[in-house]
């Protein structure tokens, strides 16, 4: 099965590279470091122990921050090799860890063929391979086993939908799961599903995302944004996905009892969609400002969050936050950062990627679930008009986030058992 999987990778490689070049029209980072994606690297590193952490994109990279900081503190003799699949993830890693100099180095993970993975492992010689959340790559895991490199899947989550998909490819996924040395799962349900695929050592440590601390620079940026919003009531729609913005804008325009001077802040999850979303706003006759061209006073209907790495700042500047990916069956995004900053949270019906955290937030009074975009705007308007209710939800949100901290310490304790 793995041979067939590898063959499919080789056959698809011209299309994969073509798509990479095509995406580079809007995101030039996709056209950089191409050799790394194919398993070709520069000079050899010195012989310090190398701890590999794979964080595919922005969300996983930000989630890995407390873990990486803890590993750097626990192993002053070692370096971190932080790998990614997207240029935005790489840029986020540089912003977060550039202060550590050569103790944190970065690379794109090569495509998952035996040849490319083998070159990667021979070049970097990692002492351990740590995969974040859902990043199970069969040839990488097989290559690590072949080279005697233990593999840990941390902050691991697996939805029922992903489990069904994994079972469809049968031995490929079960062989990979059996070869993983250690799994640190977010919840009991995640642990049970991962163990059912064959993983032998599975522990429940909680979500590392609860341990992420808002950077002071982000809070300062949030204060600057808030000053430019003045006293306007602000609804943030964070990490929205394709199809959601049109629903939200239509509901916003149709809202009968909109709070006076209400501001809608839209932050699409993918930067290549910034221009598309801007056109949607203008086509509906709504006035628009851009974060990238921020005026002294934001007096428009909508502010487009066309910046990267500023989600904490947006949360700090808003009065309540909707978490995208949940109005449509896309699985939802992480609500923890909004809760940590004490913001009331709104989510749609589709949160299967973060189901337990979302359900617990709703039960704790930190979040409200809405069935559709009109209900979202009505619920947001109600919160923006009710200072007492909004403050109570914000307090519940902060308490909810505080109760779940500590996953990083538990995860590092497990990892120290397998890091040479």
CA dihedral sign, ordered 289, 294, 300, 303:
positive
Between vectors from CA 383 to CA 379 and to CA 389, what angle results, nearest 5°?
125
Tokens of 328: 């449509």
Residue 289 near residue 297, CB atoms below 8 Å: no
For residue 236, the cross-strand partners are 265, 321
Beta strand 151-156 with 50-54 is unpaired
Q: What separation in angstroms does the CA of 34 have from each of 41, 52, 87, 286?
A: 10, 20, 11, 41
> Mutual orientation of helices 2-23 and 171-179 as an angle, nearest 10°?
90
Counted residue by residue, the chain has a size of: 420
CA 270/CA 260 separation, integer angstroms: 30
Q: Is 153 exposed, middle or buried (0-12, 13-18, 19+ CB in 10 A)?
A: buried
Give the number of C-alpha atoms closer than 13 A to the C-alpha of residue 244, restricted to the C-beta side: 31
> Mutual orientation of helices 65-74 and 87-97 as an angle, nearest 10°?
50
Does the annotation count 60 as an active-site position? yes
**DSSP letter, residue 284:** T
| Catalytic residue, candidates 60, 133, 244, 337 | 60
Biggest CA–CA distance in the chain, Å, is 65
Active site positions, annotated: 60
């Amino acid at each position: 099965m793995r041979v067939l999987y590898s063959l499919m990778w080789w056959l698809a490689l011209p299309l994969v590279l073509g798509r990479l070049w095509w995406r580079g029209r809007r995101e030039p980072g996709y056209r950089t470091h191409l050799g790394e994606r194919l398993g070709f690297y520069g000079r050899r590193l010195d012989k310090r122990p190398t701890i590999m952490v794979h964080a595919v994109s922005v969300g996983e990279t930000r989630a890995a921050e407390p873990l990486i900081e803890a590993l750097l503190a626990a192993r002053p003799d070692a370096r971190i090799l932080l790998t990614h699949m997207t240029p935005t993830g790489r840029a986020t890693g540089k912003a977060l860890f550039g202060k550590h100099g050569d103790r944190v180095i970065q690379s794109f993970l090569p495509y998952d063929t035996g040849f490319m993975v083998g070159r990667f492992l021979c070049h970097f010689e990692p002492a351990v391979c740590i995969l974040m959340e859902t990043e199970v790559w069969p040839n990488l895991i097989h290559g690590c086993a072949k080279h005697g490199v233990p593999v840990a899947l941390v902050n691991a989550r697996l939805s029922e939908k992903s489990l069904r998909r994994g079972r469809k490819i049968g031995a490929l996924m079960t062989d990979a799961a059996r070869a993983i040395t250690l799994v640190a799962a977010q919840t009991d349900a995640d642990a049970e599903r991962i163990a059912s695929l064959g993983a032998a050592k599975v522990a429940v440590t909680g979500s590392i995302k609860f341990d992420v601390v808002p950077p002071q620079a982000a809070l300062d940026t949030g204060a600057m944004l808030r000053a430019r919003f003045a006293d306007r009531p602000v609804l943030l729609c964070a990490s929205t996905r394709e199809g959601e913005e049109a629903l939200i804008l239509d509901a916003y325009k149709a809202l009968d009892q909109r709070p006076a001077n209400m501001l809608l802040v839209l932050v699409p999850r993918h930067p290549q969609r910034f221009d598309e979303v801007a056109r949607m706003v203008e086509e509906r006759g709504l006035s628009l400002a851009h974060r990238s061209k921020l005026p002294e006073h934001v007096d428009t209907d909508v502010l487009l969050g066309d910046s990267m790495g500023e989600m904490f700042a947006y949360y700090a500047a808003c009065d309540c936050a909707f978490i995208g990916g949940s109005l449509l069956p896309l699985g939802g995004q992480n609500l923890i950062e909004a809760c940590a900053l004490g913001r009331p949270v709104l989510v749609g019906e589709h949160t299967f990627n973060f189901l337990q955290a979302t359900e617990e937030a709703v039960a704790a009074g930190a979040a409200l679930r809405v069935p559709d975009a009109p209900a979202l705007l009505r619920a947001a308007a109600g919160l923006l008009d009710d200072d007492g209710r909004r403050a109570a939800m914000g307090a519940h949100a902060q308490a909810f986030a505080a109760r779940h901290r500590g996953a990083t310490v538990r995860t590092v304790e497990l990892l120290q058992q397998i890091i040479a």
